[in-house]
Chain A
């Protein structure tokens, strides 16, 4: 089926070239970083993780969100998702690839990364995260490929794939739980030391990922004959609404504990992010953008009339995605480091090379996604009208 990714219209190729060019720019800056060191980023002694780890964390959520389609479709035999589920699985694949690339970009000694397997350390959450992420990539490649391959032939997928599909469900939960555990078990970082971190991660993932999927599915419908169906879009829209409600609720819980307890350490990171601390308020406009977008998008998704209109639904999804990206892809990581262990405020802002590398990795992700979607679209266009039993 791979050949389908290599045949397409001029627009398709122009799009790939565009993404490829961005990736090349990113690669150029990565070479600079590789030669000079991570000093090329805005990171320093006090804020040691930034944009890269933020993107990684956010994208693990996007990857995990495929489970929101897999559960209804395979566990509850919800036929409406028959067509859209492949888009979710392929989105997961490209998201995991981006995760791995962001981790590599963040490594001080990327050439030594196999040490994670040469000297496995079961007490380290990074070890488990590596295991579950690679496992998840494998499962989604396998399931996506086998089910689409069967669709192409117009036959039902082989029985042996079922256990893999079922395995992908707890596995998806595990990737984001372990990713939350990267943060939630560290003494002295009050902002992260929260028992509901994993729950928050999952809630934001199940809102942000499917929101992106709605946007993507509508783009796919516009540029091809592959339509996942109005009903499927609406069903995903409802999932996004519920998950976003849970996410906002969980964030509210964090605020309650931080401020009602009155323990300064618990409140300071929130104060830094939302009001500024000791005269440093770099992140305040971003965090309030995130808050306002979250409120508006939640309202839009909540009101049936707005949600049912696809134009306003997409608007809500875009706002929600931006809101969660700021909250998780940026604020969550930086907030954990400010103030530092000496209660000093040292701020961080990404540099141009860091931003270009980040854009480059996103471009690679979208390149992979575009090619995978191209395959899915072509197969579906060829088999249009044939009813597939999953």
Chain B
């Protein structure tokens, strides 16, 4: 096939405009690509990195009500999670937003209880949050890619892109997501200026503290938990502490039969590992 210079330029010109040319497809500086490619972004040398972040929660380490409270407060205060209250001071269930909270065993693990089980076990509190699933239904159903997977396994969301359709909430089998039914800023007492607040009409949830990992800090809940209560690490790294626990000890995950691949593993019995 022969092609004169004029023809070549014509085709090259058209294909680059259409983004079809090899140069246009690979160039990160193409006028069609907004922002920087991952390679161009300066990495914080202190940032904690992982192939896939995961968490092990050992409920036996949580002894007192205060142990739980510290964890929830650490998260909710760090992330400006609004605290809607009724006039009598009780939690306003209608507007409630929560990133991390507790649920009794029989509710966190439906179908795993039996009728002979003592009330004590049935009511045993478990810490629950977003499971940062390997195969997250919320990401699949989002019509705007406002919720998405990060390469490190974290399920993130972009509150500026969210249209508030709440499909992710219908899709999440863990009830991990909350919607801002009204302006959340009215219910934030001590605003953390380091973290953004949200607007009404968008969905939010636990982010595994992406913003803290980026500056070399562990998630706020992990830091606030009793020693060994919450462990955080790279499950893909065979030498990581959490990988060793998950490999060698009996752990359970919430509704793993749904194929979502939750990244939070629970130790129920409680043996020494930390």
Contact = CB atoms under 8 A, between A and B. Distances in A.
A106 B143 CA distance: 14
B182 A37 contact: yes
A342 B166 contact: no
Contacts of A48: 166, 169-170, 179
A232 interface: no
A336 interface: yes
A119 B163 CA distance: 12
B201 interface: yes
B198 to A, nearest CB: 11
Interface string B122-143: 0000000000000001011111
B260 A113 contact: no
Contacts of B166: 48-49, 106, 108
A182 B166 CA distance: 12
Given A107-B163, A123-B140, A124-B140, A188 B255 contact: yes
Given A342-B110, A343-B107, A188 B173 contact: yes
Interface in B54-101: 93-97
Given A189-B173, A341-B174, 18 more contacts: A37-B180, A38-B179, A39-B181, A45-B96, A45-B97, A45-B169, A46-B175, A48-B169, A108-B179, A109-B202, A110-B163, A119-B145, A119-B146, A121-B142, A123-B139, A265-B111, A342-B108, A344-B107
Contact of A112 (B107, B141, B161): B161
Contacts of A43: 181
Interface of A: 36-39, 43-46, 48-49, 106-110, 112-113, 115-116, 118-119, 121, 123-127, 130, 182, 186-189, 264-265, 336-337, 340-344, 346
Interface in B219-274: 255, 258-260
B171 interface: yes
30 contacts: A36-B182, A37-B200, A38-B164, A39-B182, A45-B96, A48-B166, A107-B163, A108-B166, A108-B180, A112-B163, A113-B163, A115-B146, A115-B161, A116-B143, A123-B140, A123-B141, A124-B142, A124-B167, A126-B143, A126-B167, A127-B143, A187-B260, A188-B172, A188-B258, A189-B170, A264-B111, A342-B107, A342-B108, A343-B106, A343-B107
Given A44-B96, A187-B173, A108 B165 contact: yes
A119 B144 contact: yes
Nearest to A113: B163
B53 to A, nearest CB: 22
State the main secondary structure of chain A at its contact with B.
Answer: loop
Interface string B143-172: 111100000000000000111111101111
B182 A116 contact: no
Contacts of B174: 188, 341
A123 B144 CA distance: 10
Contacts of B181: 37-39, 43-44
Contacts of B199: 109
Contacts of B142: 121, 124
Contacts of A112: 144, 161-164
B144 A39 contact: no
Nearest to A121: B145
A108 B164 contact: yes
Contacts of A110: 163-164
A127 B167 CA distance: 12
Contact of B141 (A45, A49, A125, A265): A125
A44 B170 CA distance: 12
B163 A115 contact: yes
B76 to A, nearest CB: 15
A272 to B, nearest CB: 15
Interface in B178-208: 178-183, 199-203
A123 B142 CA distance: 8
A187 B259 contact: yes
Nearest to B97: A45
Contacts of A189: 170, 173
